[in-house]
């Protein structure tokens, strides 16, 4: 979409969207590269480091076969298919099969526990799910509460009663499948995001969302694609970052992607992976960069061309470390699940200012506005707003018209983030407008954690806040009022932490549990989280 230049002003002002009326992510990211030449698409690494290489030809065929499986099992246009997997070969096959079938995929994070999983599957009305044996163990406990879920496909060696083998079903299906002629505005994917009140919301995106990501990805990655580019991110492919900041934009440009299902991020392993597989382009969340700096890792075989990062400000010290370690600048971006990658950096286009998110991405009109969607003067703090329409914006919050309406004011989508735009067009992040917690690259809503805490027999009341953390940006801190008959103590705190890990998600458990006799509340009975944050 972008023409390489060193003139940001010309790049920005000359840009025009060219969104075709008919567009399908599967055709754009896979089929047009499946030309019979075996062009490499995925280099997937097993836990022992063995590399499995898969071409666009193979992925196109396998996703057509799985599309036939879904059709034979009764899924119809618009039905939802959940993908409950980590980075793997099966994950993109499932998504692409859904896209080419006119279905709607629903990525789910493998660390989700039973509560988180049940809500998202129930709310989306998913009729099918692809998962592995670990996912099956969680799913089996809640399946009787999911009447819409008719088909479960397991990627492992066994298929217990009530489930089907993903690979056996795929291999026995026909490879002939005519991809549905979808509109660019047809629904393609629901990605759930957490808010501060009520249940998580599902951002429903159209097929055009992929095209909406390309200008930023191309700009930040030094005008991707270039010869020998290879993409990798440790970010899970269950979120918009992993899927649309890395995997699918890379495949749109026929750039091979490295996949690896790491149990946790290990800095030395990351360096070795990048060296061994000629990785040139990475999306590294700030937490990963901080851990790498902490471990002081180096590897002479790492030859990166571009680094995309986002979710929090890196600051001058970390930016300097990246430059000294990799010989290039880390390019920060800004966006959110509802409308992603609207601001970014490229040191060849304009100087990087430590602490700034960068400038508006070509194709996006980003302003600082008030709650009514009215633009504020430069230098004044307000809500980061994105003028509509644009192809990156969600269609709606799934089955939540009230929340959808609140997301927009005047001509703008309101991100809910507070920021400042200076006289030189740089954007500076200030804070969230609400109480969302940013921890290790994830945005976590306190409400869902509080709901799970209330299910523990010892908890009478709870409030969850984020507290500063030098590595994770914020750690999750739970303030708890106990029921009569329970005494505070370390053992009970650990029990409550483990309870949240199992019931909700391993990345959403409170790292700190503090017991209190009461919680600060306003006149309406709302917990004043800002007062708890002051206490640390």
Q: What is the pLDDT of residue 451?
A: 78
The rounded distance, in Å, linking the Cα atoms of 307 and 11 is 20
Phi and psi, residue 244, nearest 5°: -110, -5
With vertex at residue 498, the alpha carbon angle to CA 112 and CA 192, rounded to the nearest 5 degrees, is 20
Q: What is the pLDDT of residue 430?
A: 77
Instruction: Identify the weakest region by mean pLDDT among 5-9, 54-58, 229-233, 451-455.
Output: 451-455
Q: What is the pLDDT of residue 524?
A: 41
104-107 and 80-84 strand pairing: parallel
**Which pair of structure tokens corresponds to residue 236?**
């899970």
The rounded distance, in Å, linking the Cα atoms of 475 and 508 is 9
Q: What is the pLDDT of residue 20?
A: 98
Residue that wins the pLDDT comparison between 16 and 432: 16
Q: How many other C-beta atoms can be found within 10 angstroms of the C-beta atom of residue 411?
A: 16
Contact 349/6 with Cβ under 8 angstroms? Answer: yes
- Per-residue confidence at 526, pLDDT binned at 50, 70, 90? low
Residue 366, CA atoms < 13 Å, CB-side half-sphere: 33
**Which pair of structure tokens corresponds to residue 362?**
């070509």
Task: Read off the pLDDT of residues 191-233 as tens digits, 9 standing for 90 and up.
Answer: 998 655 568 999 999 999 999 999 999 999 999 999 999 999 9
Torsion of CA 91, 95, 98, 99, to 10 degrees: -160
The rounded distance, in Å, linking the Cα atoms of 91 and 66 is 12
Q: What is the pLDDT of residue 405?
A: 98
Among the listed residues 167, 154, 100, 93, the one whose alpha carbon sits nearest the alpha carbon of residue 128: 154
Among the listed residues 140, 146, 172, 167, the one whose alpha carbon sits nearest the alpha carbon of residue 155: 167
Sorted by where each starts, the structural domains of the chain and their CATH numbers stand as 49-182 (3.40.50.980), 437-535 (3.30.300.30)
| pLDDT > 90? residue 35 | yes
Rg of the Cα trace of the chain? 23
Residues 6+ apart with CB under 8 A from 334: 310, 341, 342, 343, 344, 357, 358, 384, 427, 429
Strands (E) located in 115-160: 128-131, 151-154
Span 380-403, mean pLDDT?
97
**Which pair of structure tokens corresponds to residue 339?**
């409308």
Residues 6+ apart with CB under 8 A from 523: none
Cis peptide before 52 (omega within 30 of 0): no
What is each CA distance from 136 to 6, 164, 249, 452, in whole angstroms?
51, 11, 30, 21
| pLDDT > 50? residue 52 | yes
Task: Read off the pLDDT of residues 405-447 as tens digits, 9 standing for 90 and up.
Answer: 999 999 999 999 889 999 999 999 876 666 778 888 787 878 7
| pLDDT > 50? residue 523 | no
Among the listed residues 253, 233, 256, 255, the one whose alpha carbon sits nearest the alpha carbon of residue 245: 233
Among the listed residues 237, 258, 285, the one whose alpha carbon sits nearest the alpha carbon of residue 108: 237
80-84 and 128-131 strand pairing: parallel
Q: How many other C-beta atoms can be found within 10 angstroms of the C-beta atom of residue 422?
A: 12
Strand partners, 505: 112
Residue 521 DSSP class: B
Q: What would you measure as the largest C-alpha separation in the chain, in angstroms?
A: 70
Instruction: Identify the weakest region by mean pLDDT among 24-38, 91-105, 189-203, 275-289.
Output: 189-203
Contact 55/38 with Cβ under 8 angstroms? Answer: yes
List, as one string, the DSSP characters of 376-425: PPTT--EEEEEES--TTB-SEETT-HHHHHHTEETTEEEEEEEEEE-TTS
Give SS3 for 259.
strand
Contact 340/363 with Cβ under 8 angstroms? Answer: no
The rounded distance, in Å, linking the Cα atoms of 491 and 473 is 27
Span 169-175, mean pLDDT?
97
151-154 and 164-165 strand pairing: parallel
What is each CA distance from 57 to 193, 425, 428, in whole angstroms?
33, 44, 44
Span 173-178, mean pLDDT?
98
Task: Read off the pLDDT of residues 467-520 as tens digits, 9 standing for 90 and up.
Answer: 989 888 899 999 999 988 999 999 999 999 999 999 998 889 999 999 999 888
Contact 38/59 with Cβ under 8 angstroms? Answer: no
Task: Read off the pLDDT of residues 274-314 as tens digits, 9 standing for 90 and up.
Answer: 999 999 999 998 878 888 988 889 999 999 999 999 977 78
Task: Read off the pLDDT of residues 332-362 as tens digits, 9 standing for 90 and up.
Answer: 999 999 999 999 999 999 999 998 999 999 9
Is this structure's pTM higher than 0.75? yes
Sign of dihedral through CA atoms 357, 360, 366, 369? positive
Q: Where are the alpha helices (DSSP H) in 190-285?
A: 209-220, 240-242, 248-252, 267-276
Q: What is the pLDDT of residue 197?
A: 55
What proportion of the chain, given as a percentage, has pLDDT over 70?
A: 97
Torsion of CA 407, 412, 416, 417, to 10 degrees: 160
| pLDDT > 60? residue 14 | yes
Sign of dihedral through CA atoms 432, 116, 310, 375? negative
**Which pair of structure tokens corresponds to residue 42?**
């995925």
Q: What is the pLDDT of residue 22?
A: 98
Burial status of residue 508 (CB atoms within 10 A of its CB: 0-12, 13-18, 19 or more) = buried
């Amino acid at each position: 979409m972008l023409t390489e230049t060193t003139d940001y002003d010309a790049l920005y002002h000359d840009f025009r969207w060219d969104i075709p009326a008919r567009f399908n992510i599967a055709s754009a990211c896979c089929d047009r590269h499946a030309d019979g030449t075996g062009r490499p698409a995925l280099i997937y690494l097993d836990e022992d480091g063995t590399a499995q290489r898969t071409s666009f030809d193979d992925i196109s065929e396998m996703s057509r076969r799985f599309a036939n499986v879904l059709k034979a099992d009764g899924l119809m246009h618009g039905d939802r298919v959940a993908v409950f997997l980590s980075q793997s070969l099966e994950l993109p096959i499932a998504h692409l099969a859904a896209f080419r079938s006119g279905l709607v995929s629903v990525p789910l994070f493998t660390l989700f526990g039973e509560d988180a999983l049940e809500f998202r599957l129930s709310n989306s009305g998913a009729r099918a799910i692809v998962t592995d044996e670990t996912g099956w163990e969680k799913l089996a406990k809640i399946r009787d509460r999911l009447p819409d879920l008719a088909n479960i496909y397991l990627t492992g060696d066994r298929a217990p009663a009530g489930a089907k083998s993903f690979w056996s079903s795929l291999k026995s299906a026909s490879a002939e499948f005519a991809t549905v002629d979808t509109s660019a505005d047809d629904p393609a994917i629901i990605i759930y995001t957490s808010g501060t009140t009520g249940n998580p919301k599902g951002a429903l995106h159209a097929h055009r969302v992929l095209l909406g990501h390309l200008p930023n990805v191309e700009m930040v990655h030094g005008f991707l694609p270039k010869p020998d580019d290879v993409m990798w991110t440790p970010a899970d492919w269950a979120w918009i970052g992993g899927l649309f900041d890395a995997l699918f934009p890379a495949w749109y440009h026929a750039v091979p992607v490295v996949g690896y299902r790491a149990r946790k991020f290990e800095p030395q392993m990351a360096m070795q992976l990048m060296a061994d597989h000629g990785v040139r382009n990475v999306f590294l969340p700030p937490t990963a960069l901080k851990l790498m700096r902490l471990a002081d890792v180096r590897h002479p075989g790492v030859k990166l061309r571009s680094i995309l990062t986002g979710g929090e400000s890196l600051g001058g010290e970390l930016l300097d470390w990246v430059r000294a370690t990799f010989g290039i600048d880390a390019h920060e971006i800004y966006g959110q699940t509802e409308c992603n990658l609207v601001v970014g950096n490229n040191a060849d286009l304009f100087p990087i200012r430590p602490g700034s998110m960068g400038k508006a991405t070509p194709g996006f009109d980003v302003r600082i506005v008030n709650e009514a969607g009215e633009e504020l003067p430069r230098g004044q703090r307000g809500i980061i707003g994105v003028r509509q329409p644009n192809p990156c914006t969600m269609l709606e919050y799934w089955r939540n018209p009230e929340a959808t309406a609140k997301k927009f004011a005047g001509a703008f989508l309101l991100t809910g983030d507070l920021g400042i735009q200076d006289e030189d067009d740089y954007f500076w992040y200030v804070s969230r407008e609400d109480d969302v917690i940013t921890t290790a690259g994830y945005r976590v809503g306190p409400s869902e954690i509080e709901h799970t805490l209330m299910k523990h027999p010892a908890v009478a009341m709870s409030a969850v806040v984020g507290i500063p953390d030098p590595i994770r940006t914020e750690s999750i801190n739970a303030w708890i009022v106990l029921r009569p008959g329970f005494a505070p103590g370390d053992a009970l705190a650990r029990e409550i932490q483990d309870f949240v890990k199992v019931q909700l998600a391993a990345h959403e458990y409170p790292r700190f549990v503090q017991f209190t006799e009461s919680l600060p509340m306003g006149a309406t009975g709302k917990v004043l989280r800002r007062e708890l944050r002051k206490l640390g």
